[in-house]
Amino acid sequence: MAHLIRHKITNKLTNAAHTVSNKSQAKVSGVFARMGFQAATDEEGLGFAECDDLDYDYRQGMKMDVIQGEEEGGPTEGEGELDGDSHYQRDGTGPRPSTLKIGGSLDEDKPKITSWEAGWNVTNAIQGMFVLGLPYAILHGGYLGLFLIIFAAVVCCYTGKILIACLYEENEDGIKVRVRDTYVDIANACCAPRFPALGGHIVNVAQIIELVMTCILYVVVSGNLMVNSFPGFPVSQKAWSVVATVALLPCAFLKNLKAVSKFSMLCTLAHFVINILVVAYCLSRARDWAWDKVKFYIDVKKFPISIGIIVFSYTSQIFLPSLEGNMQKPSEFHCMMEWTHIAACVLKGLFALVAYLTWADATKEVITDNLPSTIRAVVNLFLVAKALLSYPLPFFAAVEVLEKSFFQDGGRALFPDCYGPTGQLKSWGLGLRIALVVFTLLMAVFVPHFALLMGLTGSLTGAGLCFLLPSLFHLKLQWRNLLWHHVFFDVAIFVIGGICAISGLIHSVEGLIEAYRYNIHE
């Protein structure tokens, strides 16, 4: 009996101590929040307390799991721990919590990817079809355009690293723990506590714009390639875009990308083969290369558009948090980013330079249009197939963001759910997807200018997601841990990125207005 009484008294004292500790921590957090320093939101606090589901590798080593009961067999009814209390142990005997963040946990046995597989995904993002517009950037930028290809690779690699750094915070032991999952989580943390959802809305809008614009560019480039492959056919670029969109309508019925993903490896390999064919043709004409055409002079009006083109060709920050969270060894993320961006920089620079040297001032917005008609049709048909098979990826991602933001959102959405109780897509939900496909067609028909649209997208959302927001978030969330050179780099990137974004946006819009006013075709 004495042992039981002593045991109950010990429980109550322990609970009281935890309650006082939690209240003290809440008060301290409130003081820091009012002073403008970083403060964890409730969701992030939960991530701290439970070490975050995506930080699985760390918890495998430390075995920090929740203890629901005491060692003797659990708490007595009504005398257990207080609501919200969490006790931890390092021996791994406690049960693992089933979910660590509301509405978003990963399965413990979900397969992870290696650093090579992660690098392949990044390479697919930054070595895609849009490198076809880089020689056009050299046309208006000369050697400065080549420098910008290198500079953009360095900056995008750096901002990718600091974006991932914003996912982590140090716990009481000084160990970095992953407390955020996505780009949206980072943005919300920066705007907390006054506007906890504002940052997420901004990032979501930027993501939707970039994804939809990517879909539009795929339709534009498909029409462009087809009309240049068969110039004798009495079919315009707009008509070819309509044909391409008809082939893309089944995308509205997609529930997942399992079927499409089977073609991704083949498409990427085909694209590399096409790049090699273009470079091989250019090398065959090396004796006629126009080195005198590559100068330090830039076209002040057109060069800002080239900046947007180059920046857009490096955009991958949208999916980096998810990619890093699914790596077997997240510690290899930095190394993976370095070798992928170095490879991209070298390949893009060489491709853009040799292509421009071959055609000089005759360089077109899509470089394959400069090829002789004998091989142009074959190369362009492969590129059209790749564009059509690549379209479902950004389309499905855009649909998911829209559905989560406006039709699901944990019951707080503006509109009812697109899916029925059994998971089937409702008719009006299908109609919205079809409307999105049709919208990409209309944009491609009325604005059929590949380079100008690519420059506009790079300036509008590419610079924001790759330059401005990562540096701003890094300064906000990691301020207390930054050295002076980190602060200098972040501020410099923010200022340079802002100038490039504004100038590129203005000149891209001016170019589109001019093309529309004077009926200029590519």
Q: What is the pLDDT of residues 75-86, one digit of tens each?
A: 444 443 333 333
Q: In the predicted model, what is the mean pLDDT of residues 495-522?
A: 83
Question: Domain tally for the chain?
Answer: 1
Looking at residue 313, what is its pLDDT? 87
Ranking 3-7, 48-52, 145-149, 321-325 by mean pLDDT, the lowest is 48-52
305-321 per-position pLDDT tens digit: 888 889 888 988 888 99
The verdict on residue 20 lying in a domain is no
Ranking 102-106, 163-167, 250-254, 338-342 by mean pLDDT, the lowest is 102-106
Longest alpha-carbon distance in the chain: 100
Number of H helices, E strands in the chain: 20, 4
Torsion (CA) 296, 299, 304, 306 in degrees, nearest 10 = -70
Q: In the predicted model, what is the mean pLDDT of residues 218-232?
A: 87
Q: Which comes out higher in pLDDT, residue 357 or 39?
A: 357
- Provide φ and ψ at 303, rounded to 5°: -65, -40
Q: In the predicted model, what is the mean pLDDT of residues 217-244?
A: 88
DSSP 36: T
The verdict on residue 427 lying in a domain is yes
**Structure confidence at residue 462 as a pLDDT band (50, 70, 90):** confident
55-64, 102-111, 393-402, 493-502, range with greatest mean pLDDT: 493-502
The verdict on residue 99 lying in a domain is no
pLDDT over 70 at 37, yes or no: no
DSSP 419: B
Above pLDDT 70, what percent of the chain?
73
The verdict on residue 31 lying in a domain is no
Looking at residue 166, what is its pLDDT? 94
pLDDT over 50 at 456, yes or no: yes
Q: Which comes out higher in pLDDT, residue 391 or 71?
A: 391
Helix (H) or strand (E) holding 219: helix 198-229
**Structure confidence at residue 232 as a pLDDT band (50, 70, 90):** confident
Specify the residue for token string 């101590």: 17
Q: By CB neighbour count within 10 A (0-12 exposed, 13-18 middle, 19+ buried), where does 496 fall?
A: middle
d(CA 209, CA 462): 10
Looking at residue 69, what is its pLDDT? 40
Q: In the predicted model, what is the mean pLDDT of residues 256-269?
A: 63
Torsion (CA) 521, 387, 243, 305 in degrees, nearest 10 = -20
pLDDT over 80 at 204, yes or no: yes
Cβ within 8 Å of residue 117, ≥6 positions away: none
d(CA 495, CA 479): 18
**Structure confidence at residue 499 as a pLDDT band (50, 70, 90):** very high
Average confidence score pLDDT of the chain:
76
- What one-character-per-residue DSSP string does 103-127 give? T----TTPPPB-HHHHHHHHHHHHS
- Beta strands 88-89 and 65-66 are antiparallel
Looking at residue 10, what is its pLDDT? 56
Looking at residue 413, what is its pLDDT? 56
The verdict on residue 15 lying in a domain is no
**Structure confidence at residue 373 as a pLDDT band (50, 70, 90):** confident
Picking from 403, 423, 424, the residue whose alpha carbon sits closest to that of residue 414 is 403
Specify the residue for token string 């697919």: 124
- Domain at 236, CATH number: 1.20.1740.10
8 Å CB contact between 482 and 279: no
d(CA 357, CA 276): 16
Q: Which residue range(s) make up the domain with 242? A: 115-520
pLDDT over 70 at 228, yes or no: yes
- Provide φ and ψ at 475, rounded to 5°: -60, -40
The verdict on residue 440 lying in a domain is yes
C-alpha distances (whole Å) from 98 to each of 95, 105, 326 are: 9, 8, 18
pLDDT over 70 at 260, yes or no: no
**Structure confidence at residue 451 as a pLDDT band (50, 70, 90):** confident
Looking at residue 56, what is its pLDDT? 38
Q: In the predicted model, what is the mean pLDDT of residues 75-104?
A: 36
**Structure confidence at residue 474 as a pLDDT band (50, 70, 90):** very high
CB contact burial 282-311 (16+ within 10 A = b; e otherwise): beeeeeebeeeebeeebeeebbbbbbbbbb
d(CA 461, CA 360): 30
Above pLDDT 90, what percent of the chain?
26
d(CA 364, CA 359): 9
The verdict on residue 13 lying in a domain is no
Looking at residue 274, what is its pLDDT? 83
**Structure confidence at residue 350 as a pLDDT band (50, 70, 90):** very high
Looking at residue 439, what is its pLDDT? 93
The verdict on residue 274 lying in a domain is yes
pLDDT over 50 at 128, yes or no: yes
Cis ω before 193 (30° cut-off from 0)? yes
Q: Which comes out higher in pLDDT, residue 280 or 70?
A: 280
Take residue 97 and report the two structure tokens written for it: 């919590």
Looking at residue 111, what is its pLDDT? 72
8 Å CB contact between 365 and 451: yes
Q: In the predicted model, what is the mean pLDDT of residues 385-410?
A: 79
